[in-house]
Every structure is written in structure tokens, then in C-alpha cells.
A and B are shown apart, each in its own frame.
Chain A
């Protein structure tokens, strides 16, 4: 398909090859650049590898057929993720501008894509940094023994534990009540929880200092934030494999269930995960690659990054599930012991009569001899499968499942510190790309006075973002974060990705793009890239987008709340959203997605009006 829309004046807006070579030789100091290639690769790796690799991918893997899920994941990684990655790298390196600048250079009507990227980066950055604030809170609280989430507080007269803690668990109580002080609904904002404000302040200050001079400071920080998680994961892997039950967790994760491959939801979830995993359409990657020398081999970079992302996802999933397996085994053993005790106490049998090995046979024996008594005891069934699948996605994984597992390990504070430092590094390195995708477009859009140095830009952005994110420090903050997670980071990214592909292939021109790549790396991209850019990737994204919109429109919007008064407590209750939430969802998902056509339309009208005025002026007789 060689459909290319007319794009007059393109050559005037972009530097030509001679200019590029000259700029490369002269090393014009106006634009920041990487100290070395390793810094660039590490920054991109840090940006792509984030919290989602630890708490979203393992859950998807396990719930969609274990080892079998790797097949759609890896296929879509190569067919959908890699082409888009190379597209962003190449366009940034060629046009040497941030996301707004690049799209504005391709066509002024397309500036909307850059604006949309900026809005998405901003909205996602706000809630992502709140997650970092929660991680920091847990990190600060890990420097004590025993860990605060291993014990329940006593009630007023000291006879028993607080009922909310008694009914749920110490870790649940600590997360929902002590850390967040959650209310029971998103409409009930409650008051601002000051420990959270303090942690938000810490989070935004840390980001500010790391990015204060742009990539010259963040480029140094990534040496730590990108490499440390791998080391910590290795330590946890070794520790995890020595714990009892780790292998059952890993087995559970990777046991393939080939039937899942037939279901379309598996492929759709894999596609969506690949898309978000690569942090495409946030604008950060375009910015980062624009600081590269012109002849940097971006195709190699795209392939390397894809391989690293795939490997890290599997690696993190293995570690996560070894720990989950350990926790599930501990809980299972505890459940069985409890049941054994109940039976022994009820029937007055000596302690050795029933052990874990003969539990089943003895239970059946007693049930057949004294069915009424056994029924009256209310023995809980201990289900290993259920224990392995509970609470293993999202924030629940890190703050509830993992923290509980850590309390059961000897030397808990050390493991807790390590774990939360790893999460912190993963999150901060992603935020570098995020804040790059916010500050650089704002600069390109001339939102800041030109005289301001980089420090002032970073500082202003962080201060404003901190003030807005105090929204998440309210008692309903958890529900706002979930809302943002579901809507700000899903549909807009898919639409922006689609627009990017269309813009480069049809408005910039795929032939011109191929020539650019030949100029930059020395050879034209092979037939694989051509087909993916033109057909496969846009098709995949379109299918995911349509399917997602259709399912969302059909379902009633509900969310999970922590409500001690609900019937299902301690399980989270599913409650429908209030009606005003639709306006918020439209703002989060609709505004960035619609920014592209709206801006193009606005520009069209604006230039039409100007042309009319010009023509009018020309036609007016000279005064």
C-alpha cells in the first residue's frame, strides 16, 4: 500500500541529510546528548521494564494457560512491539526532536499526536508516582523488626485484636487501613492522609533531583536504577528456590494449558501487555533516541530491547511465582495443621494420630464414623490451587501477597528492604521516561518562558504534579489510582500508537522513511519491517482497540472496595461506579485520544480562516 497523503513543505520543516551530518560533526551543544551508548540502552531498558513486568505479566501468564501464554506473548512482541519500537527510535533519531517537535515537523496538523502523548504521560505519571509513594512508605517502614505489617494492633481494653484486622489479615489491615486509611467508596473522599502526602513529597523530590538537569543527571541515575532490579531479582530467585514450595509455584506458572491459545482474550491480553510493556506512544522513547548520534544503529537497538524485555518478563515471573508458591505452601500447611488440631481436640485423640500425610484418610474415616460431629466442626477445605491464584495481580501482589511471604522468611526486614528498593528502582526508571515525555513537549509547545533553565522546568513540573497528586492522598486515593490505571493508560495509548503508524507510513511516507533508515544505519529495513509497518502492526492494534471498546461498552463499570461493613468482607466488594465517574473517564481516556483529530480540525479551521483573511486583504482595494 503506497498510499501517501500530500504533505507540502515537509522538506522545509525537517533537516536534510547534509544538515544532519554537519550537526553530528559539529556537536551543536543546544541539544543534550548521551555520554555513551550504554547510558542510552540502560535508560530505554529502565523505561520499558517497570512495575508491570513484576505484577501484571506474571498474573496474565498464569491465568492464560501458563507456559502456553508465552507463545502469543513472544509472537506479538515481535510482530507488534518491535516494529513500533523501531518506528519511534528511527523517527526520533532522524528528526532530532521530542514527541511534539517530531509530529509537528512531519505535519503541523499532526501536532495533536504529540499533545496526546504528553497528556497521557502526565496522567500516567501522576498515578504511577503515587504507586512509588506507596512503595517508599513500605520501604521506610521496613527498617524495623518485627515488620509493622506482621502484627495487629490491640483494641482499647487490650483483650483482643481490632476486629477489622482480626477478620481480614495483618497485611490487608496494614495496607488498607494504616497506609491508606481507605474509605468505602470513591465518592467518599474523606480527609487527606498525611503520611501519604509526606511520601508523595518524597517521591516527587527524588524524581526532581534525578531529572533536574535532564538526561545528564538521569543518565547517571539509570546506572543504578536499571541494573539494581536484576541483581535483586537474582538474589530473590536464589532465596526463593531454597524455600519450601517454590517449585510448586513455578510449576503452576508454567504448566501449559494449550486450550487457552484458542481463546481470543488470551491473544488480546498478550497484545495489550506487549503494547504497555514497551512504553510506546508515551513520547519518551522518541525524545531519548533524538539525543543519539545520527548514524546510531537503531534497528539493532530495537531488537536488543525487545529481547531484553521478553527475557526480563519471564525472569521476573519466575521469581514472583517462586515466592507466591512459598506463601501458598505455608498457608496450605497452616490450614491443614489447623484442621488437624480441630479434629484432635474434638475427638480427644493423641497428637501423633493425625499428621499431614494421613490427614485425608483419617478425615474420611472420622467423617464416616461420626458425620454429625465432623460437620459441626466446620472444617475448612484447604485448596492449594485457590491459594496460588489469590491476590496475585497489581498492587495486591506487591503490598499484600509479597509482604506476607516476606514476614514468613527469616530475616524479614532485610528482604523487605531489598524488595521495595527493587520496586522503587523499577518505578523510578520508568518515571524518567515519563517525565521526559512531559517536560520536553511542554518546552516545544512554548509553555515555559524561553529563558528558564532546565532546572526550573523540571522543578515547576514536579511541583505542579505534586499538588495535583495530593488527590491520591485522600482516603479514596486507592480507587482513583485504579481508575487512572484502567482508563488513562489503555485506550489513549492504543489510539496514539495507531495514529503514529498511519502518520509515518502514509503522511511522512514509508519510502522516505526507508531512505532515512538507509542513510542512518546503512541499509534499508528488510521485508519483515515493511510488512509489519504497513499491515500487521496497525491491524493488531486496531483489533485490540475495537475489541477493548466493545467489551468496555457492554460491561457495567464496577470497582472493588475495601468495606469492613460489607457482607463479603474481607474479600473486596464489587460496587458500581457513581454516575459522575463517566465524565472523569471521558477526561482520562477521551481527551488524549481525541486530541489528534480535534487539533487537526482546529488547525484546518484556523488556516482556512487565515487564508480567507489573506485573500480578503489582497482583494481589498489599496487604501
Chain B
């Protein structure tokens, strides 16, 4: 009796080993870089962590292929290295000697990548599935390019400045033109006064020179 059980156990492990080999056709290599990701807070990789990994992967497979109930025993792991990298294959729950095909596994991992990463506090870069490239985050593209906004502000300020400066020089010119007729009136009065003064001082005052001086234009 015990021999039969022993024999069955040996057979199943042997089968499992046969199914899971490095470079097997339907498996993937996983590599974890815990110390790189977490530094001082890194946890030690042990069998419990491995159990969690297998459970997470079973969860991912359940999400992918609805109806089939994947168990932890369906995820077979081999070729563990001290690097913390290993090979895994997924067996079908209905037939434990048959492997689930590569594409389904890939799809499952892709869909639940985020959940798998968070279970281990890692990221796409530190929990690598060799052969399954992570979907890259699209670069942030705002609707209105921000540079147009800044450009608009700058040009608006500069344009307003130009208009203000031009307007002020036009206004200044107008003021100068307005002042000139006023100057002429004042000159008129002083001229009359000088005539009166000169008449009082009994001299012939030749006005032509003084007029010229007053109307010297800049």
C-alpha cells in the first residue's frame, strides 16, 4: 500500500520534473531583483515566498481562462538559482500532464501584471518575465501643449508692451505739437512787451534777430 503511494509520488514528481525544464516550450523564466528594488527592506526569498508566487500565478490563470480552476499545484517551478530566478510552467487543471500553451500564459501574466508586481512590492523592471515584455507606459501628452500656453503669454506681454511704447511715443509727439502753438502765443506776448519796453527806452529795436532766435527748431 505504502509502496504504491510512494511510487505514485515519485512518478508525479518525475512527471513534474519532466514537464518543467529550463527552455521548455511552454514555460517562462522569472527573475526577481528584490534587493535592487527594496534595498534595506528586502525580504528573504524562501519557500513561503515561492508559494505566494505560485498562488498569484494561479490567480492570474484563473482570471484569464474563466471556468478552469487553477490550483497552486498547477504551477510547477524548477531550476531555482541563488539569483532568485526560476523557470515555471503551468499545467492544465483537467489534465496535469498537459501544459497550458505559451500564449495563454503570456496573456494571463500581461493582464494581471500589476497585481503580481504589487504582491511582491516590485515593479516591471525588478520582477521580470523573460520573454514577456511589459506594456510601456505611454508618455504623458496633454491636450494643449503647455509650450503654446507659455508662448501665448510671452507674446501677449511683449505685444502689449510694444503697443504701449508706440502709443506713448505717439502721444508724446502730439503733446509736443500742441505745445508749439502755445509757445508761439507766449512769444507773441513777450515780443509785444519788448516792443513796448524798447519804445520806452527810445531806441530802434530791430526785431528780426530776436525772432530768429526764438524760432530755432530742434
CA distance A160 to B135 in the complex (A): 8
CA distance A195 to B154 in the complex (A): 15
Q: Which of B35, B139, B166 contacts A152 (CB 8 A)?
A: B139
B147 cross-chain contacts in A, Cβ below 8 A: 137, 140-141, 143, 195
Q: Which of A100-108, A231-239, A347-355 contacts B (4 or more CB under 8 A)?
A: A347-355
Determine whether the beta carbon of A205 is less than 8 Å from that of B155: yes
Measured between C-beta atoms, what is the minimum distance from A452 to chain B in Å? 12
Question: Per DSSP, are chain B's interface residues mostly helix, strand or loop, or mixed?
Answer: helix
Measured between C-beta atoms, what is the minimum distance from B169 to chain A in Å? 6
Determine whether the beta carbon of B138 is less than 8 Å from that of A154: yes
A180 at the interface (CB under 8 A from B): no
Q: Which of A137, A198, A213, A348 contacts B85 (CB 8 A)?
A: A348
B151 cross-chain contacts in A, Cβ below 8 A: 140, 198-199, 202
Q: Looking across the interface, which residue of chain B has its beta carbon closest to that of A141? A: B147
Measured between C-beta atoms, what is the minimum distance from B133 to chain A in Å? 7
CA distance A198 to B145 in the complex (A): 14
A376 at the interface (CB under 8 A from B): no
Determine whether the beta carbon of A455 is less than 8 Å from that of B165: yes
Determine whether the beta carbon of B83 is less than 8 Å from that of A151: no
Most A CB contacts (10 A, CB to CB) among B33, B138, B150 go to B150
A373 at the interface (CB under 8 A from B): no
Determine whether the beta carbon of B81 is less than 8 Å from that of A213: no
Contact residues of A between 513 and 531, Cβ < 8 Å to B = none
Determine whether the beta carbon of A159 is less than 8 Å from that of B218: no
| Per-position 1/0 for B144-188, Cβ under 8 A of A | 001111110011001101100110010000000000000000000
Contact residues of B between 50 and 92, Cβ < 8 Å to A = 81-85
Measured between C-beta atoms, what is the minimum distance from A181 to chain B in Å? 15
Determine whether the beta carbon of A350 is less than 8 Å from that of B146: no
A176 at the interface (CB under 8 A from B): no
Determine whether the beta carbon of A29 is less than 8 Å from that of B218: yes
Q: Which of A161, A209, A212, A345 contacts B136 (CB 8 A)?
A: A161
A158 at the interface (CB under 8 A from B): yes
A348 cross-chain contacts in B, Cβ below 8 A: 81-83, 85
Q: Which of B81, B133, B169 contacts A160 (CB 8 A)?
A: B133
CA distance A143 to B34 in the complex (A): 36
B138 cross-chain contacts in A, Cβ below 8 A: 154, 158
A470 cross-chain contacts in B, Cβ below 8 A: none
Q: Looking across the interface, which residue of chain A has its beta carbon closest to that of B79? A: A348
Q: Looking across the interface, which residue of chain A has its beta carbon closest to that of B160? A: A209
Measured between C-beta atoms, what is the minimum distance from B43 to chain A in Å? 13
CA distance A81 to B133 in the complex (A): 60
Measured between C-beta atoms, what is the minimum distance from B36 to chain A in Å? 6
B155 cross-chain contacts in A, Cβ below 8 A: 201-202, 205
B5 at the interface (CB under 8 A from A): no
Measured between C-beta atoms, what is the minimum distance from B88 to chain A in Å? 16
A208 at the interface (CB under 8 A from B): yes
Q: Looking across the interface, which residue of chain A has its beta carbon closest to that of B149? A: A143
A161 cross-chain contacts in B, Cβ below 8 A: 136
Measured between C-beta atoms, what is the minimum distance from B171 to chain A in Å? 13
CA distance A144 to B82 in the complex (A): 43
CA distance A453 to B165 in the complex (A): 13
B142 at the interface (CB under 8 A from A): yes
Contact residues of A between 320 and 363, Cβ < 8 Å to B = 341, 344-345, 347-352
| Per-position 1/0 for A382-405, Cβ under 8 A of B | 000000000000000000000000
Determine whether the beta carbon of B140 is less than 8 Å from that of A345: no
CA distance A29 to B176 in the complex (A): 15
CA distance A165 to B85 in the complex (A): 31
Contact residues of B between 5 and 64, Cβ < 8 Å to A = 31, 33-36
A605 at the interface (CB under 8 A from B): no
Measured between C-beta atoms, what is the minimum distance from A351 to chain B in Å? 4
B139 cross-chain contacts in A, Cβ below 8 A: 148, 151-154
Measured between C-beta atoms, what is the minimum distance from B138 to chain A in Å? 6
A453 cross-chain contacts in B, Cβ below 8 A: 169
Determine whether the beta carbon of A209 is less than 8 Å from that of B161: yes
| Per-position 1/0 for A247-272, Cβ under 8 A of B | 00000000000000000000000000
Q: Which of A152, A154, A202, A345 contacts B31 (CB 8 A)?
A: A345
Determine whether the beta carbon of A213 is less than 8 Å from that of B169: yes
CA distance A160 to B138 in the complex (A): 10
Most B CB contacts (10 A, CB to CB) among A136, A208, A348 go to A348
CA distance A65 to B135 in the complex (A): 48
Most B CB contacts (10 A, CB to CB) among A208, A209, A453 go to A209
Q: Which of A139, A151, A205, A213 contacts B140 (CB 8 A)?
A: A151
Measured between C-beta atoms, what is the minimum distance from B42 to chain A in Å? 9
Measured between C-beta atoms, what is the minimum distance from A473 to chain B in Å? 15
B81 cross-chain contacts in A, Cβ below 8 A: 348
A460 cross-chain contacts in B, Cβ below 8 A: none
Determine whether the beta carbon of A349 is less than 8 Å from that of B158: no
Contact residues of A between 135 and 177, Cβ < 8 Å to B = 136-137, 139-141, 143-144, 146, 148, 151-154, 158-161
Q: Which of B82, B85, B166 contacts A455 (CB 8 A)?
A: B166
A206 at the interface (CB under 8 A from B): yes
Determine whether the beta carbon of A350 is less than 8 Å from that of B161: no
CA distance A453 to B172 in the complex (A): 13
CA distance A494 to B158 in the complex (A): 37
A566 at the interface (CB under 8 A from B): no
A141-B147, A198-B151, A455-B169 given as contacts; is B35 within 8 A of A351 (CB)? yes
Q: Looking across the interface, which residue of chain A has its beta carbon closest to that of B166? A: A455
CA distance A146 to B154 in the complex (A): 22
Determine whether the beta carbon of B142 is less than 8 Å from that of A144: yes
Q: Looking across the interface, which residue of chain A has its beta carbon closest to that of B142? A: A144
Q: Looking across the interface, which residue of chain B has its beta carbon closest to that of A198? A: B151
A607 at the interface (CB under 8 A from B): no
A217 at the interface (CB under 8 A from B): yes
Measured between C-beta atoms, what is the minimum distance from B188 to chain A in Å? 26
Determine whether the beta carbon of A351 is less than 8 Å from that of B33: yes
A217 cross-chain contacts in B, Cβ below 8 A: 165
Measured between C-beta atoms, what is the minimum distance from A557 to chain B in Å? 36
The 4 closest A-B pairs by CB, nearest first: A348-B81, A140-B147, A151-B139, A351-B35
Contact sample, A vs B, 29 pairs, CB 8 Å cutoff: A137-B147, A139-B150, A140-B148, A141-B146, A153-B139, A154-B136, A154-B138, A154-B139, A159-B136, A160-B133, A160-B136, A195-B147, A201-B155, A202-B158, A205-B162, A209-B162, A212-B165, A213-B165, A344-B83, A345-B83, A347-B83, A348-B81, A348-B82, A349-B82, A350-B82, A350-B84, A351-B36, A351-B83, A455-B169
Other A-B pairs beyond A160-B136, A199-B151, A351-B33, 15, CB < 8 Å: A136-B154, A151-B139, A153-B139, A158-B135, A161-B136, A195-B147, A202-B154, A202-B158, A206-B158, A208-B162, A209-B158, A341-B33, A350-B83, A351-B36, A351-B84
